[in-house]
Amino acid sequence: MTKPLVIKIGGSILEQESALSSLLLVLKSNSDKKIILVHGGGSTVDQMLMQAGFTTKKKNGLRVTPKAQTPIIIGALAGTVNKKVVATANQLGLTSLGLSLADAAMVTCSKHPENIGEVGVPTPNNYSVIELLLSQSILPVIASIGALDNGNLVNVNADDAAVAITQLVDGDLLLLTDVAGVKDAQGKILKSLAHAQAQTLIEQQIINGGMVAKVNAAFNAARQLRRSIAIASWQQPQQLSLLFVGQPIGTRIIPD
């Protein structure tokens, strides 16, 4: 593959040091490739909000971000989670640099149209810093925190952030999750999945529970990018090496 690969991570892998280290070691062994990490960190945010006496609310799957919670959310994502990933990578010998969407105005944000507080809608803007880092074989690790035109910081859905970065670098997108892919009625991993097929599997409750949200988010990302993307498991990071030589992994999500 010649295009940059944007890998979105979140959830459990950020809480399991051994899993994160395994992924980063695979990236280190492929350091000649152009790779970018984009991360969320919802569980860390939830823990820090709870410690501060706040409750977490979501609307249509998006985190509601009141102004009073914004400093904690920014600190959790652009601080605690981002620097943990960077420190782990550097300790393993994989040179990395932590960034947010706001750095060098790589991605600009507008206020989200829904009434969900300090949340931004990202738009790709400036490739120069990422281009420089990739040219020096430095891994960019990007937190899903952006800025509005007035300079106010906003929380950005991590999937949306990954899409914006993928658009920015004209790359391919891989969503790493806690499952190896989308399964059919026989429990086998589907190599590809079209939207109509996904809706049928959801109606039949073959795709169910938390996987419904993951699949819908993946289709939304593929639709925005107007190209297919992959869902694969962070528990099998060695599979990434197959992706780098053009072999499919996980389930490829085919947009409408």
Pick from 48, 60, 143, 159: nearest CA to 103: 143
Helix orientation angle between 210-225 and 158-169, rounded to the nearest 10 degrees? 30
Please give the order of strands across the beta sheet that includes 251-254.
Answer: 96-100, 139-143, 35-39, 5-9, 172-177, 229-233, 251-254, 192-194
Rg of the Cα atoms in the chain:
17
- Distance in angstroms (rounded) separating the CA atoms of residues 238 and 100: 27
Residue 63, annotated ligand binder?
yes
223 annotated among ligand-binding-site residues: no
- Answer yes or no: is 226 a known binding residue: no
What whole-number distance in Å separates Cα of residue 183 and Cα of residue 231? 11
Q: What residues have CB less than 8 Å from 51, skipping those under 6 apart? A: none
Choosing from 84, 117, 159, 172, which is the catalytic residue?
A: 159
Q: Any catalytic annotation for residue 159?
A: yes
Distance CA 25, CA 183 (A): 28
Residue 59 designated active-site? no
Neighbours of 41 (CB within 10 A): 26
Task: Reply yes or no on whether 28 is catalytic.
Answer: no
Whether 8 is a known active-site residue: answer yes
**Residues 28, 139: Cα–Cα separation, whole Å:** 9
Is 58 assigned a catalytic role? no
Tally of CA atoms within 13 A in the half-sphere of 62 that contains its CB: 20
From the candidates 33, 34, 40, 42, which is the catalytic residue?
42
Q: Is 155 annotated as a binding residue?
A: yes
How far CA 66 is from CA of 70, 72, 93, 144, 243, in Å, comes to 7, 11, 39, 17, 40
Give the catalytic positions in this structure.
8, 11, 42, 159, 214
For the annotated binding site, the residues are 41-42, 63, 155
For the annotated binding site for substrate, the residues are 41-42, 63, 155
